[in-house]
């Protein structure tokens, strides 16, 4: 594969954050008087910007969504961030890609400060030359903005850059930024979700991703 710069999504691509994210959402909802015992129902919160998800899924107003995000972070920064696990094979993949001369970066809708802590926690931060996420005030949360920021900041050549992610937002961001994309089917985007937005490539496992990038 001819891509020299690889942009990785974080949640659902490098790590499986289900427990931490869904418990953080559950905590926020409880603070707002909504009881949700089934964490599986909160999976749609994994990947997209949080405030938008609270609006889309629970029809919260702008102000209520902001409050929900604040409550979410109360739990997330203390516990939820670490209720997470790296996908099997990811560490070996990152090491191999760096050894092959690829430039790796993280492009996530999660606030940059949290993304950096998670990468350090799993001891994979050293593989990435840059980490770009949203700001804590909610700005730069759209994946298109994040990808375009990396392209501008690091003067990336678009034909040599590919975005790797598990949700439609990753692929749409790549399309809008004019770069190629790889949809990964082992995360939290359904097969139909990914197929509908037509990533450049699609893989079903970390092993298939490694084979594609080799």
Catalytic residues: 9
The 8-class DSSP code of residue 10 comes to S
Tell me which residue of 128, 122, 152 sits closest to 140, measured CA to CA. Answer: 152
Conformational region of residue 140, where left means phi above 0, alpha means psi within -120 to 50, and beta covers everything else: left
The beta strand positions in the chain, using DSSP E, are 5-8, 15-16, 85-86, 103-111, 130-134, 161-165, 180-184, 201-203
Residues 6+ positions from 2 with CB-CB distance below 8 Å:
160
**CA–CA dist 141, 108 (Å, integer):** 8
| Residue 56: alpha-carbon gap to chain centroid | 18
Q: Where are the alpha helices (DSSP H) in 32-142?
A: 50-58, 62-78, 90-99, 112-121
Burial of 75 (0-12, 13-18, 19+ CB in 10 A): buried
């Amino acid at each position: 594969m001819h891509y020299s710069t690889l942009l990785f999504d974080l949640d659902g691509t490098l790590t499986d954050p289900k427990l931490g994210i869904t418990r953080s959402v559950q905590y926020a909802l409880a603070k707002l008087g909504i009881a949700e015992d089934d964490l599986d129902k909160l999976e749609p919160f994994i990947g997209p910007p949080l405030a938008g998800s609270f609006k889309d899924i629970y029809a919260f107003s702008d102000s209520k969504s902001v409050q929900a995000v604040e409550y979410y972070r109360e739990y997330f920064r203390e516990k939820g961030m670490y209720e997470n696990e790296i996908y099997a094979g990811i560490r070996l993949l990152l090491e191999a890609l760096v050894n092959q001369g690829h430039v790796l970066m993280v492009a996530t809708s999660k606030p940059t400060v949290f993304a950096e802590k998670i990468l350090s926690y799993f001891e994979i931060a050293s593989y990435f030359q840059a980490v770009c996420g949203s700001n804590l005030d909610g700005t730069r949360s759209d994946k298109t903005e994040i990808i375009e920021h990396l392209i501008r900041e690091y003067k990336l050549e678009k034909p040599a850059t590919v975005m790797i992610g598990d949700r439609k937002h990753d692929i749409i961001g790549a399309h809008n930024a004019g770069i190629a994309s790889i949809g990964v089917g082992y995360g939290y985007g359904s097969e139909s979700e990914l197929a509908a937005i037509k990533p450049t490539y699609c893989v079903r496992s970390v092993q298939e991703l490694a084979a594609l990038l080799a």
